[in-house]
Amino acid sequence: MSIGAPYMPVMNTDVARPAEAPSPAPAQGVTVWFDGACPLCLREIALMRRLDRRGAINFVDVSSPDALCPIDQRELLARFHARENGVLLSGAAAFAAMWRAIPVLKPLGWAARNRVVLKGLEWLYLRFLVLRPRLQQMLANK
């Protein structure tokens, strides 16, 4: 599988990969892997942590040498990943899983269960990935 290839569940389409490593999160929780060396990612994760008042999400910094990674670390750094109910998600589907765990964002996460909505979000996410290096550089220079 190439690094840029999305694997996200969409309704009844079985394109998600099952988790390959034990999750440090509770059985029904959400685990999010993020790049702790990325200023843009750190800002977003800081916001998600503030919104996650129930502590429903286990955030794992992939840039840490002791991080538990269910797949290759380079893949985790190239795209956003999350595990929800034992299913490893990537891209827009991973964001939607994170949103579903945060009450104020839950409606967005539920909307992304719709195949058309998720496809549109993934299209936007792929465009964002092209801009991400420039955005990271801009934030690093501040």
The parent domain of residue 113 ranges over 20-140
In percent, the amount of the chain with pLDDT more than 90 equals: 60
129 within 8 A of 5, measured Cβ to Cβ: no
Residue 37 lies in a domain: yes
Q: Model confidence over 114-127: pLDDT tens digits?
A: 999 999 999 999 99
Task: Tell me: pLDDT of 22 over 60.
Answer: no
The pLDDT, as a whole number, for residue 28 is: 66
In percent, the amount of the chain with pLDDT more than 70 equals: 79
Task: Tell me: pLDDT of 101 over 50.
Answer: yes
Mapped onto helix, strand or coil, the DSSP state of residue 30 is strand
For residues 15-28, average pLDDT: 42
The pLDDT, as a whole number, for residue 38 is: 87
pTM: 0.77
Residue 130 lies in a domain: yes
Residue 2 lies in a domain: no
The percent of the chain in helix, strand and coil, each rounded to the nearest 5, is 45, 15, 40
How would residue 133 be classed by pLDDT, with cut points 50, 70 and 90? Answer: confident
Number of domains in the chain: 1
Q: Model confidence over 23-63: pLDDT tens digits?
A: 344 446 899 999 998 888 899 999 999 999 999 999 999 99
What number of helices (H) and strands (E) belong to the chain?
Answer: 5, 5
